[in-house]
Structures are given as structure tokens and as C-alpha cells.
Structure 1
């Protein structure tokens, strides 16, 4: 079957109208990253409070037809731990203006 080479303005207007009236699929089509982000809190709870590791969580998600890699899940878990460590380090640095510095200052004199 040969494809049509020429179109009328009426056909183009009809196609444009029909395409513009197609429903919005964006609320129902969630990307992998958006899905993983939505599950982040639950993944962290499973890892921190219930003792699950990335492999266990991946297996459970695979059973539900989510195809996340073990690395992606592991990154979510590590990312949270890194954020907490960075916050702790910032607190330690800002608290470092107290008595500990006096000892260091005395040694350097």
C-alpha cells in the first residue's frame, strides 16, 4: 500500500484538531526516576528500620513488576546516609570553635 504524498488543508486541520483533543497522559505515565523518588521514603524505612538490603528490596519490587536495578536502590540508601553524615560533619565543624581549639592553639604556640 502506497503512502499518500499530498494532503488537503482540510485533512491537516482535521488531524491537528484530533491530535489536540487526545487526553493528557502525563499524570498516568510516571517515569522510572519519578517512581523511584516516590518510593524513596519506603525504601529508606525498609533499609533503616526493618533490616532489608538493596537486593531484598529489588526482589520485592521485581515481584511487583518494577524493574529497578539493585544499584539504583543501593544509591537511594547510600544517598540518605551520605546526607546525614554531611549534616553531622557540618555540625561538628561549626561546633569546633570551642574548647577543642584552645588545646590546638596551645600546642601550635
Structure 2
């Protein structure tokens, strides 16, 4: 094994071989967005045909250790996908403060 801050070329080659032989985990790991997309049809059926509320669906998913916010579930139901783009606030023009005292001097 390497000691301190130095490694041999043999150690690096061995590490490279081991890393290159690790399996591809991409098919096994599904992102939160991917999971919601995958469950979308079922969530829509529950909400629109079976009378479940967003809170009911969240509770059922929580029991299965799928932690999604009510906002994310609502986004799926409302076809927004849970990712609404916010409009930036329009900057209000700065109000010039004038006191009655200043205007009397002029």
C-alpha cells in the first residue's frame, strides 16, 4: 500500500484496472425526477379517478420510503412536473423621499 503522499506506478495501474472494472450503476439508480416521472400515470389515476388527495398520495409514498413533497406531487397532478419556473420580480423604481421641510426651503 501507499504510504504518505507517494504512490508507485504499479499501484496507480492496479487502481485504474479496479475502477474500470466496476459495474455500471446507471440503470439501477433513478433520480427523484425520474421516479416521479415513472410514477406519474399511477399518481394521476389515484388523484383524478380514485379520489385521493395530494396528502393521501404523499402519505402512501412516505410509508414506502419514497419521500416526495406535496408540492412535487401536486406538480405531477397539475402537469407541471413539480418544476414551475418563477418569474423574476420586477424592480420597483426607487421612490425619492422629499420632506415637506425640504420643499419649503426652495
| Partner residue in 2 for 1:99 | none
* Corresponding pairs, count: 78
| Partner residue in 2 for 1:28 | 28
Shift of 1:27: 1.1
Shift of 1:14: 0.4
Shift of 1:40: 0.2
Instruction: Please tell me whether residue 45 in structure 1 is matched to residue 45 in structure 2.
Output: yes
Distance 1:4 1:22 in 2: 26
Distance 1:4 1:51 in 2: 63
- The C-alpha deviation readout for 1:26-66, integer Å capped at 9, x for no partner, is 11111111001000000001011101111110000000000
Runs of 4+ in 1 over 4 A off after TM superposition: none
What TM-score does the superposition give when structure 1 sets the normalisation length? 0.68
Q: Which has the higher contact order (CA 8 A, sep 6+)?
A: 1
What pairs with 1:1-109 in structure 2 (closer than 5 Å)? 4-79=4-79
Shift of 1:4: 2.4
Q: CA RMSD in A?
A: 1.2
Higher helix share: 1
